[in-house]
Structure 1
Amino acid sequence: MFPYLMKKEEFATNEYPLFVVPIMEIQLLSQKIIELSSTITDLANDLPDVAHQQFYNEQLFNAIISTNEIEGIGTTRKDVAVAIEALNKDKKEKLKHKSTVRMYLDILSEDYLNVTELTHIREIYNALTSGEIEDDDELDGELFRKNYVSIVNNQNGKIEHIAPGKEETIKEMLLSWIHFINIENVPFLIKASLAHYFFENIHPFYDGNGRTGRYILSKYLSRKLDKFSGLIISKKINEDKNKYYKAFSDTGNILNKADGTQFVHTILSFIIKGQYEIINTLSEKQEMLYYYHQKLQDSSFTDIEATILFLLIQSQLFVSDFEASINDNELLNLLQHTEYSQRSLKQTIKDLENKKTLIKVAKRPLKHAIVEEFFDYSTK
């Protein structure tokens, strides 16, 4: 893979092959990432089903909001929640971010992302950005763009990168990228990082390059590590965009002669920071869940009340706001094959509302949540 390199805001050459020096720190980071992924999997598997799904949803929200925010696209949690609901109910209406949400939901399926032809790249791009690209940025080549684009630093106005301008050149570079991602003699974390850099260096589209590149990276890491480690990469890049762009710019500087070591190190450091965040959050939430489970057992709540409340605790505890918690219909569906009738469950929800244990937070669809006063867990 021969990236386009820059010298003082101008294209310099593409005669140097992209490479990495397997320094000890990269090897240690790679080893630690694999170990932490195993820890995350064990922690997540210990969660009850609702808690596990809600924690995944929370990471999904963060990933989509972050990947769009990097591109300057404003996305709210409600936008994502509405899109998820529409997809789950197979609604045909056009919604903002629906394409992006659909693709990120696919990460949960753990299907292999098979990219062996140029058309596969275009298909990923189409599915990810459908209805979200401005008319001026629509592709004008057979599969990709056919005119020059450059990446400009918004802070100082300097040209950071000039991408190849001819579609034939783009195709040639992407074919070498496809070959690289399918070889098996490169450690997968180094491969993922270098492939991500080279894809962004090619910049095959007018708009949506970053979103497409990060999706491919997330999908790959989710399969090779775990879905949580894969999803959090966009969030960590978004939190430290300057570090990411500096690594990209430095790698593309002619003086470094396509040395991708710094970029690989940067990506691995983002992954490992995200993993520690996931582990800390999961550990804390598990402690809280155990505490509230004991609180229910020691309380005067009836069995049916405690059952409802424990599901709602899972629903609320593992997401950051009510927008992503389960509604009454979803709650009833979860308890459909239990000893409790739907009528008795609905009545119990009303009773808990009358007791001021639950509060109605939405009407359409009807949704109840546990009052804040119930959540008295303290780390002290």
Structure 2
Amino acid sequence: MRYLPLSKYKYAVQNGDDPWVNVENEYQSRLNSYAVQKTALFPLLTYRNESQTSKYPIFFLPLPEILELADQFRLNSKRIEDLAMQLPGLAINQFLNSLLVSEIFYTNDIEGVKTSKIEIGTVIQENSLKVNGKETTSKRRLGSTIKLYQQTQLGKPIQIQTLADFRKIYDRLLKGELTKNRLPNGELFRDRLPNGESLTISSSTGVVVHRPPADEEKIQQALSTLIEFMNDDTTPALYKALITHFFFENTHPFLDGNGRMGRYLLSSYISTKYDRFTGFSVATAIHAHVQKYYKDFVEADHAENRADLTLFIQSLLAILISQQQENITNLSRAKAELDAAKDTINRWTEENKESFPNKTDLKLVKQTLFYLAQSKLFSYQPALGIKDNEIIESNKRNGFPMAKTRRTLDLLTDCGAIQLISKKPKQHEITII
């Protein structure tokens, strides 16, 4: 028999015994299995009649299907990193920025929050600027949100040791995104609502599927146990990331922005433990399977399933792997195009060198064109592409004077190999590939 949610198990087994006895026996068999992975996390689960319980600990069984998916996830991550190592630094950064555009766009879109990919790209560019050698944060909408992701991109993992750390991350991630009445109404998190109202999570048809903890004291208790779990290495990292994602969403500690916060935490963790390309594809992957994703949460929150996250983990792994495979395809294709572009640049330079002014540095010509080729092939949009001043600085670090790069850019423009696409800041695009 295939592995079934406990809520459906009673319908599948008909041996003459009381169905509830069958379910209880199956639950005890799973919970006490030799292979079980059991936690000290007790989520608040909801029955169909909206009564609740928190007596069941989260557990899962590493089924052969899950072990195979976990192996595939790790192999894909290694494959992505191997592909990235074959690419120049500029190409990697451009590709990551393209993923980041989609990640921010889709994590907002899942919640019905509308943003523009062009707007996101502009903020990424502004956040990348330095003033007097110091990092800056765009004053535009999403400036703080994107900066948090970019720090993850630069290898600065988040640390959550206290309850206040959750709030600090939340404030940065959602800065400027929430109306005053949607800000936390407790000390750190949400607290009881006025007039006896309660926070509910409903299905698309309006049916209440979950009621998270009602007050801040219960939220703090739940998240305190989550912090212990997050900083304990007993559970393998990949499974821990997915369980943390579920438990955070189940606790729903804020009035708004829980989904965006939960996806950011998962993104950051995967980026740190595995690879940034997969980490920056979490919301993109979920958006592509959003109905399945929500259905999995409903099943996992259902009290009759007794905090068994086996099928939740299996499903979410499959969702993430699908996006990994797309990243591998896109990286492989872009690498092949970049290799072909390099050949084209070498051939074009050789064919046109006789028309260049005396003492033109062919190495500088090729390097400048190669920067622009990386930018064109790996950028989501031209606005995210490399700027002239960045080319000048990069060439300077490689021993080419700034004036020589400027003359080279003028030469290549006159030859039609590149064209001006922006005056402020000055930016060119390669035309020979």
TM-score, length-scaled by structure 1? 0.93
Q: Which amino acid aligns with 2:254?
A: F
Q: Which amino acid aligns with 1:310?
A: F
Determine whether 1:134 maps to 2:183.
no
Q: Which amino acid aligns with 1:94?
A: K
CA offset at residue 91 of structure 1? 5.0
Instruction: Please show how residues 257-276 of structure 1 align to structure 2 within 5 Å.
Output: 257-276=306-325
Give the 3 Å change call, closer, same or farther, for CA 158–9 of structure 1 in structure 2. farther
Distance of 1:238 and 1:298 partners within structure 2: 43
Instruction: Please show how residues 100-179 of structure 1 align to structure 2 within 5 Å.
Output: 100-147=145-192, 148-153=198-203, 155-179=204-228
Residue aligning to 1:214: 263
CA offset at residue 92 of structure 1? 6.3
Residue aligning to 1:370: 430
Give the 3 Å change call, closer, same or farther, for CA 335–189 of structure 1 in structure 2. same
Distance of 2:374 and 2:401 partners within structure 1: 21
Instruction: Please show how residues 298-313 of structure 1 align to structure 2 within 5 Å.
Output: 298-299=347-348, 300-302=351-353, 303=362, 304-313=364-373
SS in 2 for 1:335: helix
1:86-142 Cα shifts (integer Å, max 9, x gaps): 333355663100111011001123234321211111111112112221111011101
Count, aligned residues: 372
CA offset at residue 262 of structure 1? 1.6
Unaligned runs of 5+ in 2: 1-40, 193-197, 354-361
Residue aligning to 2:346: 297
SS in 1 for 2:59: coil
SS in 1 for 2:223: helix
Give the 3 Å change call, closer, same or farther, for CA 199–369 of structure 1 in structure 2. same
Determine whether 1:95 maps to 2:140.
yes
Identity of aligned residues (%): 33
- 2:418 pairs, out of 354, 358, 361, with 358
On the 8 A contact 2:138/2:144 being kept in 1, the answer is: no
Greater CA deviation, 220-229 or 336-345? 336-345
On the 8 A contact 1:67/1:234 being kept in 2, the answer is: yes
Distance of 1:131 and 1:11 partners within structure 2: 36
Distance of 1:366 and 1:277 partners within structure 2: 33
SS in 2 for 1:10: coil
Residue aligning to 1:378: none
Distance of 1:92 and 1:52 partners within structure 2: 22
Residue aligning to 2:406: 346
Distance of 2:327 and 2:223 partners within structure 1: 33
CA offset at residue 48 of structure 1? 1.1
On the 8 A contact 2:121/2:384 being kept in 1, the answer is: yes
On the 8 A contact 1:9/1:159 being kept in 2, the answer is: no
Give the 3 Å change call, closer, same or farther, for CA 179–338 of structure 1 in structure 2. closer
1:147-198 Cα shifts (integer Å, max 9, x gaps): 2322233x32222321111110111111111111122111111111111001
Q: Which amino acid aligns with 2:367?
A: T
SS in 2 for 1:157: coil
TM-score, length-scaled by structure 2? 0.82
1:200-231 Cα shifts (integer Å, max 9, x gaps): 00000011111111111111111111111111
Residue aligning to 2:385: 325
Give the 3 Å change call, closer, same or farther, for CA 180–95 of structure 1 in structure 2. same
On the 8 A contact 1:251/1:259 being kept in 2, the answer is: yes
Distance of 1:112 and 1:305 partners within structure 2: 38
1:323-369 Cα shifts (integer Å, max 9, x gaps): 21111111211112345433332233233223332222222111111
Q: Which amino acid aligns with 2:303?
A: I
Distance of 2:405 and 2:265 partners within structure 1: 43
SS in 2 for 1:298: helix
Distance of 2:247 and 2:381 partners within structure 1: 38
SS in 1 for 2:256: coil
Give the 3 Å change call, closer, same or farther, for CA 333–226 of structure 1 in structure 2. same
Instruction: Please show how residues 21-32 of structure 1 align to structure 2 within 5 Å.
Output: 21-32=61-72
Q: Which amino acid aligns with 2:74?
A: I
Q: Which runs of 4+ in 1 moved over 6 A?
A: none
Give the 3 Å change call, closer, same or farther, for CA 11–312 of structure 1 in structure 2. farther
Residue aligning to 1:233: 282
Unaligned runs of 5+ in 1: 376-380
Q: Which amino acid aligns with 1:349?
A: L
Distance of 1:229 and 1:338 partners within structure 2: 31
1:10-68 Cα shifts (integer Å, max 9, x gaps): 24322222211211111111112112211111110111121121112112222212212
On the 8 A contact 2:137/2:147 being kept in 1, the answer is: no
Q: Which amino acid aligns with 2:56?
A: Y
On the 8 A contact 2:123/2:138 being kept in 1, the answer is: no
Greater CA deviation, 222-231 or 330-339? 330-339
Q: Which amino acid aligns with 1:351?
A: L
On the 8 A contact 1:79/1:97 being kept in 2, the answer is: no
1:232-263 Cα shifts (integer Å, max 9, x gaps): 11110011110110000011112212111121
Residue aligning to 2:46: 6
